[in-house]
Amino acid sequence: MTTRIAVTGAIGRMGKTLVEAVTNSSDAELTAAIVLPDSSLIGADIGEVAGLGKNGVSIVGDINQVLDDFDVLIDFTAPDATVANAIACASKGKGMVIGTTGFSDQQKVQFEDAIKSIPVCIASNFSTGVNLCFKLLDIAARVMGEDSDIEIYEAHHRHKVDAPSGTALRMGEVVADAVGRNLKEVAVYGREGQTGARDKNTIGFATVRGGDVVGDHTVSFLADGERVEITHKASSRMSFARGAVRAAVWIASQQAGKYDMQDVLDLR
């Protein structure tokens, strides 16, 4: 059965890529495209706006206008918008695929409360390769983590507004969990001045922003005499979009609950 998918933030860089990925999928159909209510493109055909040719789906500025038109919403927008969309989707029992990052603690509470009754796939990164890296990082940390200094490097384009990236933070969580540490207690976000000798239990983060970098991530396990590095480099947003569509098709047949790409890819 074909999954009916709505994309919110449909005219942004990631939104247009998601529209293309849904259009190219044999298992999904784009049935709704949502943007901010003040957009000048409301009423336009999203296929034309995305450069794919007319597809008969008109852009709307309010999710409530199309709640009956889709099975799963893909949301890669901003925390406030995602919380509001979750409340709307829950009111109609619609599934969600969430790629939004940067939630505050208060927004996390609001979001968790809103999604209790629906199936939701949440991931910091929907790339198949990145999710494979999460699995590899868990293994590497269990083998090398106690004897290594652990550092995480990430780079993204100049337009990214949060740092470190959600993917880098998730990598840190995977590694910290594997070695029995609490990331909030051991994370070090940048270093400057007389920092003193490195605490072996810390997990360091380095962030770069510039150009059009889609997303680079490297986790280094630095031991005496050797180091292991696990790296993922994305060259196109399409890798994320294809994964999100795969997750949407999967989530459409799931019971209410919170899932991630490890579930979608059967990597548990």
Q: Tell me whether residue 156 is one of the annotated catalytic residues.
A: yes
b/e sequence 150-169, b meaning 16+ C-beta within 10 Å:
bbbbbbbeeebeebbbbbbb
Measure Cα distances from 252 to 98, 103, 123, 149 in Å.
14, 24, 16, 41
Secondary structure of residue 226 in the 3-state scheme: strand
CA distance 9 to 31: 14
Out of 160, 200, 217, 258, pick the active-site residue.
160
Q: Tell me whether residue 160 is one of the annotated catalytic residues.
A: yes
Query: Percent helix, strand and coil across the chain, each rounded to 5?
Result: 35, 25, 40
Extended beta strands in 112-171, E state: 119-122, 149-156
CA distance 110 to 83: 7
Out of 16, 156, 217, 232, pick the active-site residue.
156
Secondary structure of residue 259 in the 3-state scheme: strand
- Whether the CA torsion 39, 114, 165, 244 is positive or negative: it is negative
Angle at 159 between CA 154 and CA 165, to 5 degrees: 30
Catalytic residue set: 156, 160
